[in-house]
């Protein structure tokens, strides 16, 4: 059965892509700032905070497993709005209600831990409803390759816009009156999420012509494919490590800058600007760099740059030629995020190339595995990141100090007094050892993960440009002669590499 092709109308293209602002603003608020909100506005014991952190770890692992389950439910949905739109809007509304509850309902002690466990689990499951259906709708909007590339470019632009708007503005507006500020921010973001997804429901037209039916990919299918395709396995591990090292600096960032520059969110906002610039420069430079260097050379250059950036951040203030200032940290961050963007694109290309490698080995293609493995890997890395960040905060003693600031914020609800002086007095009680551990957590730990990623790729991944050309040549020969099946060239290459 053939797929009916039609052009994507302008309204659908712009409404759908711009709806990513509301989605990613919502996700960024929770992924970057929910733990900060709890840390600096809710008074919990170490045992209660540790339990809460374990709940987040569990929920994120469950969310990763829940993705393919939700995909099956969506695939079997039948309604007059199609199979995607009902879950897009239901997910947005229920997720927004959960966000409002997370920032507006404030029980105390263990009651908060219990409430948070339920609310956070619901947040993950409801966002998955929207997330899987929203991304799955893209192939239904157009089957034209050029139009789809244009749509994906717009989707990426608006998604980054939503993420960076929240990441840049929240630190400025929530410091000093955090309880009320997070309530207002949560309400605005939740309403924006609902409005953006309602626009998709009303204005976006999808292609409901006959589609080619493809086999569904179950969780067990993914496990089977990954376990057999070793190049895919190492690529997935590399993506996991890269997501993990990026998530650590994001989640510890606000606490780090509070303790380096005082209880003021402007330092974090400034750093976010350099984060965005570095990511943009690295992404734009990658196509130009690939014309002159191969992926192995680019990967080596990227790891050297990231190491330099992490060392600049770690040594800021300890060496006379790297003064303790926000600009020194931003310079290090700019180097890190530029190189990290290049490294991310290299690993994505490697991950994509394993699809042809599987076809080369077995004759089967499973493009859908990319759509399932990337979010699953991101959420699994988020679970590990949560555990590492909580461990750093607790072991360093930083959490005990931020907990006292949380008491100040709670006492300031409805008062709107300037508590920066009292908060800074608490921050000044941090010992050099505590600050060093926090700084090492945000720099040395990601740097070690970056080097682990580099060595893993160097030792285990062999589908370089030359090997990929061999694979494509063999696949082309099979198109001309279906009985042709020769894998000796790559098998020899793999054997030589292992030896």
Tens digit of each residue's pLDDT, the chain (499 residues) = 334 445 678 888 899 999 999 999 999 899 889 999 999 999 999 999 999 999 998 988 888 777 777 877 887 788 888 888 999 999 999 999 999 999 999 999 999 999 999 999 999 999 989 988 888 787 778 766 567 657 766 787 888 888 889 988 999 888 888 999 999 999 999 999 999 999 999 999 876 554 444 555 566 766 777 777 888 888 889 989 998 998 898 889 999 999 999 998 899 999 999 998 998 888 888 888 988 999 999 999 999 999 999 999 999 999 989 999 999 999 999 999 999 989 988 888 888 788 788 778 777 776 656 666 777 787 888 888 888 999 999 999 999 999 999 999 999 888 888 899 999 999 999 999 999 999 999 999 999 999 999 999 999 988 888 888 888 888 888 877 777 776 676 665 555 554 4
* CA-based R_g, the chain, Å: 24
Q: Which residues of 7-21 are buried (b: 16+ CB within 10 A; e: fewer)?
A: ebeeebbbbbbbbbb
- Model pLDDT, residue 499: 47
Provide the CB-side half-sphere exposure for 211 (13 A, CA): 13
Query: Angle between the 46-75 and 219-228 helix axes, to the nearest 10 degrees?
Result: 100
Q: Count other Cβ atoms within 10 Å, centred on residue 184.
A: 13
Domain edges within the chain: 10-205, 217-461
DSSP state of 463: -
User: Fold match between 10-205 and 217-461?
Assistant: yes
Three-state secondary-structure class, residue 319:
strand
**Coil, strand, or helix at residue 487?**
coil
pLDDT confidence of residue 217: 57
Q: What is the topology classification, in CATH, of domain 217-461?
A: Growth Hormone; Chain: A; (1.20.1250)
Query: What are the DSSP calls for 359-413, one per residue?
Result: HHHHS---THHHHHHHHHHHHHHHHHHHHHHHHHHHHHTHHHHHHHHHHHHHHTT
CATH of 10-205, one of 3.40.50.1260, 1.20.1250.20, 3.40.1260.20, 3.40.50.460: 1.20.1250.20
Question: Would the pTM count as exceeding 0.85?
Answer: no
- Give me 145's structure tokens: 């390759």
Instruction: Copy the structure tokens of residue 437.
Output: 């551990």
272: Cα within 13 Å, side-chain hemisphere: 24
Question: What is the b/e burial string over 389-423, where b = at least 16 CB atoms within 10 angstroms of the residue's CB?
Answer: bbebbeebbbbbbbbbbbebbbebeeeeeebeebb
Rounded to a whole number of angstroms, the distance between the first and last alpha carbons of the chain is 48
Cβ contact 105:37 at 8 Å: no
- What pLDDT sits at residue 91? 95
Supply 66's token pair.
């829940």
Q: Which residue carries 């350099």 as its tokens? A: 274
Indicate the SS3 state at residue 322: strand
């Amino acid at each position: 059965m053939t797929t009916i092709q039609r052009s994507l109308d302008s309204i659908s293209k712009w409404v759908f892509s711009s709806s990513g602002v509301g989605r990613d603003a919502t996700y960024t608020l929770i992924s970057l700032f929910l733990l900060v909100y709890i840390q600096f506005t809710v008074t919990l014991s170490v045992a209660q905070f540790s339990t809460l952190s374990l709940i987040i770890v569990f929920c994120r692992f469950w969310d990763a497993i829940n993705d393919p389950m939700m995909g099956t439910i969506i695939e079997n949905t039948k309604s007059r709005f199609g199979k995607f739109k009902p879950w897009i809007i239901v997910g947005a509304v229920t997720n927004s209600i959960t966000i409002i509850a997370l920032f507006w309902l404030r029980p105390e002690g263990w009651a908060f831990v219990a409430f948070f466990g339920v609310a956070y689990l619901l947040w993950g499951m409801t966002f998955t409803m929207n997330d899987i259906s929203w991304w799955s709708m893209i192939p239904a909007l157009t089957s034209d390759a050029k139009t789809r590339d244009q749509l994906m470019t717009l989707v990426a632009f608006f998604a980054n816009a939503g993420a960076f708007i929240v990441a840049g503005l929240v630190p400025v507006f929530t410091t000093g009156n955090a309880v009320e500020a997070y309530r207002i921010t949560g309400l605005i973001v939740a309403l924006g999420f609902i409005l953006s997804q309602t626009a998709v429901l009303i204005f976006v037209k999808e292609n409901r012509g006959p589609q080619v039916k493809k086999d569904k990919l179950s969780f067990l299918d993914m496990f089977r494919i990954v376990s057999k395709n070793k190049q895919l396995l190492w690529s997935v591990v590399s993506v996991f490590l890269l997501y993990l090292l990026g998530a650590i600096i994001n989640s510890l960032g606000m606490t780090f800058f509070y303790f380096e520059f005082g209880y003021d969110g402007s330092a974090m906002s400034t750093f976010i600007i350099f984060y965005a610039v570095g990511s943009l420069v690295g992404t734009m430079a990658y196509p130009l760099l690939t014309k002159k260097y191969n992926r192995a050379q680019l990967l080596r250059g990227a790891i050297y740059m990231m190491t330099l950036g992490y060392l600049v951040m770690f040594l800021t203030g300890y060496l006379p030629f790297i003064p303790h200032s926000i600009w020194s940290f931003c310079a290090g961050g700019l180097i890190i995020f530029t190189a990290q963007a290049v490294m991310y694109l290299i690993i994505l290309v490697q991950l994509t190339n394993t699809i042809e490698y599987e076809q080369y080995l077995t004759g089967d293609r499973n493009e859908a595995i990319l759509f399932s493995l990337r979010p699953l890997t991101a959420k699994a890395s988020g679970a590990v990141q949560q555990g590492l960040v909580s461990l750093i905060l607790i072991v360093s003693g930083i959490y005990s100090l931020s907990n006292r600031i949380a008491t100040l914020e709670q006492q300031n609800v409805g008062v709107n007094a300037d508590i920066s002086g009292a908060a800074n007095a608490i921050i000044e009680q941090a010992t050099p050892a505590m600050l060093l551990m926090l700084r090492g957590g945000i720099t040395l730990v990601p740097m070690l993960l970056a080097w682990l990623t580099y060595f893993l790729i160097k030792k285990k991944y062999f589908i370089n440009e030359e090997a990929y050309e061999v694979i494509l040549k063999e696949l082309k020969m099979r198109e001309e002669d279906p009985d042709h099946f020769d894998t000796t060239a790559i098998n020899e290459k793999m054997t030589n590499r292992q030896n």
